[in-house]
Chains A and B, each alone.
Chain A
Amino acid sequence: MININNLSKTFTDKKRGAIKAVDGITFTCRPHEVFGLLGPNGAGKTTTLRLLSTVLRPDGGEATVCGYDVVKYSSAVRKNIGFLSGDTGLYRRLTGREILRYFASLYGVKRSRFEEKLSEISEILELKEFLDTKTDKLSTGQKQRISIARTVIHNPPVLILDEPTAGLDIIASRAIIEFISRARNNGNTILFSTHVMREAERLCDRIGIIHEGKIKAQGTIDEIKAQFDSNDLEEIFLKALSVNATVNAD
């Protein structure tokens, strides 16, 4: 469960001065749910997800993950999330197994539990063939599957995915989409950002359209369509970006 209430983050740039990357956003993401954060580049998607994953500290508002405050209990928050982004890299001199073992150890997964979990994940993601190959010898798709395995090796209840399909081909993207669907069925809380409308339409139970650090509209796809009186998500998206006031379909 993710709860965000009036969350803000400002960066200071020498040339541009203070920039409000996230400006008082509020939304909730529940178990068995995929919440899609839609927005153009620079809208504040990545900053929001980084605030939730405790890599950044918010300046205002509050956010909790599984009931833990992201500022006060950052370590507990990190234990409960699996984080994946489109530009996540892998240690190229290590094998997939070594990387997964490393992260499992960092998340405090016991050795016996790790072996169990690894065989379960390898079965689902079909990793066996290349699990003991150094990752610099793997294809993009294979690397992405190792990254997915790394995200869930500690069995996190919450998944935070920052444009996970960015820069991937159709096959690699498909693996991610399937992974997200599977995770929702398993009861995970999933927050993912994208600017690909089709992905959002296909996967998300609810969406939030973010622009200039503010949530411009949020609700289920149908609610949003009704709000903007259109069936075309792309059109809705463009309309939402030009709306000054926040539209909340909840």
Chain B
Amino acid sequence: MKLEIVWVIFRKEFLDVLRDRRTLISMILLPILLFPLLIGGLGSIMTGQMDKLESRSSPIILLGGELAGGLTACLQQDEGLQVITTIEDSAVASQMLEEHVVQAVVFIPDAFDITSTSDTDDRGSNQINIWYDKSHTESALTMRKVRDDISAYRDSLAQQELQVRGLPDYIVKPFLIETDNRASESKMAGAMLGMLLPYIVILLTVVGSTYSAIDLTAGEKERGTMETLLVCPASRLELVIGKFLTTATVGSITAILAVISMTITFMGPGSIMTHELGPDTSLSIDPLAFGMVFLLLLPIAALFAAVLIAIAINARSYKEAQSYSYPVVLATIVPAIASMMPGVEISAKMALIPVISVSLILRDAFVGTYEPMLIMLSFCSSIVYAAFAIFIAVRIFQKESVLLRI
């Protein structure tokens, strides 16, 4: 194999794919724009909608409010609620909730007795019901507002009673409960990135490589340029390696752009991470984790390129090659999703499974866990699989029936 010839093929093929609009969209535009659009666009629309819902004054029905003393006034004080007390029939209230005319119904049963101060009274039967529709976001939000208001009212009643009896507050609250997240901001950011990043980046890499692989093989047959190429002195191995390197480069560029775009979207100024975890988060992700991403994505891009070329060369036309490569894209989704599954951990056996191993290692790298031996194992196994796929592709390139549609 002459490297000079491989370089000539690579240079021409790369120039050719750079001028292909479809490849440019999937290689550059898609990975750059996907995350800002997904997170920025969709995310901000969702946040905006939630804010709007939370600030909106939601109508609720209070049934039997006169039995609960100051509760009606307490709920009415909440600007986020619009309390309707004129409905008395629980069936009507239930119907209105179902039709989303009101977002919640506070139902106080007839047996409810808030006035009794006797220690012997059975307070256990005192219960306030909140009816809501969990399938409806506004109703669920309203339920929380109502529950908080009622809890606050209940606490105030307890406090009053303690004062009357001359008892301290800690009688009802003997201790406080504080939750303390001991994960660092970096770890939190890493966990969030580590869950999503492997899946999306792996998927984008395979999608990015697909057009190039098809264009350089089935596309070449369809345009009638394949035979001309087979008649030139370049060997089949040189042709396959040149085409493989082009596709692997396209896949790697897609992956690198996706990682950069995702990081900026998640960690840049004004992003979700800095909003949730503080402005310094962007500084705290381990640069080694990013190094690892690039290192592991190269053999993955190589593997996809080799497999896609070996598959697409069998097709007679661009369209046929597209239908052949869809299963590859779909087959990639399942192992790529491994990073999102709880309890799936990297092990020596797992490190030998292509795509899954990379997906799991990337997830762990983002929370600062590295297993050098397993990383080496995954890296090497991906390269071996890629080399095997190239070997197959070269064999297919030597088949007369495949190349010339005989």
| A residues adjacent to B (C-beta < 8 A) | 11, 50, 53-57, 75, 78-79, 81, 83, 85, 87-94, 98, 102-103, 105-108, 134, 150
With A88-B224, A91-B16 as known contacts, state yes or no: A57 contacts B400, CB within 8 Å: yes
Residue contact B8 to A107, C-beta cutoff 8 Å: no
CB distance from B141 to the nearest CB of A (A): 54
Residue contact B232 to A55, C-beta cutoff 8 Å: no
Indicate the member of B12, B235, B401 with the most A CB atoms within 10 Å. B12
Residue contact B400 to A56, C-beta cutoff 8 Å: yes
With A89-B223, A90-B225, A92-B223 as known contacts, state yes or no: A75 contacts B8, CB within 8 Å: no
Count how many pairs of residues, one from A and one from B, have CB atoms less than 8 Å apart in the complex: 68
A-B contact pairs, 24 of them (CB 8 A): A11-B406, A55-B227, A55-B231, A55-B403, A56-B400, A75-B233, A78-B232, A83-B227, A83-B231, A87-B224, A88-B224, A88-B225, A89-B225, A89-B228, A91-B12, A93-B16, A93-B19, A94-B16, A94-B19, A98-B12, A106-B232, A106-B233, A106-B234, A134-B19
Residue contact A91 to B225, C-beta cutoff 8 Å: yes
Residue contact A106 to B404, C-beta cutoff 8 Å: no
Residue contact A102 to B231, C-beta cutoff 8 Å: no
CA distance in complex: A29, B12 (Å):
35
Q: Which residues of A contact B401 (CB under 8 A)?
A: 11
CB distance from A88 to the nearest CB of B (A): 6
Q: Which residues of B contact A87 (CB under 8 A)?
A: 224
CA distance in complex: A107, B231 (Å):
10
CB distance from A106 to the nearest CB of B (A): 4
B15: interface (CB < 8 Å) = yes
Leading 5 A-B pairs by shortest Cβ distance: A89-B224, A93-B19, A89-B223, A83-B231, A105-B8
CA distance in complex: A78, B20 (Å):
30
Which residue of B is nearest A47, CB measured?
A: B406
Which residue of A is nearest B403, CB measured?
A: A55
Partner of A78, one of B19, B225, B231, B406: B231
Q: Which residues of A contact B9 (CB under 8 A)?
A: 106
Residue contact B400 to A55, C-beta cutoff 8 Å: yes
CB distance from A52 to the nearest CB of B (A): 10
CA distance in complex: A85, B228 (Å):
9
With A56-B400, A88-B224, A89-B225 as known contacts, state yes or no: A106 contacts B5, CB within 8 Å: yes
Q: Which residues of B contact A57 (CB under 8 A)?
A: 400
Q: Which residues of A contact B227 (CB under 8 A)?
A: 50, 55, 83, 85, 88
Per the 8 Å Cβ criterion, residues 198-224 of B in contact with A are 223-224
B46: interface (CB < 8 Å) = no
Q: Which residues of A contact B225 (CB under 8 A)?
A: 88-91
Residue contact B8 to A91, C-beta cutoff 8 Å: no
Per the 8 Å Cβ criterion, residues 1-50 of B in contact with A are 5, 8-9, 12, 15-16, 19-20
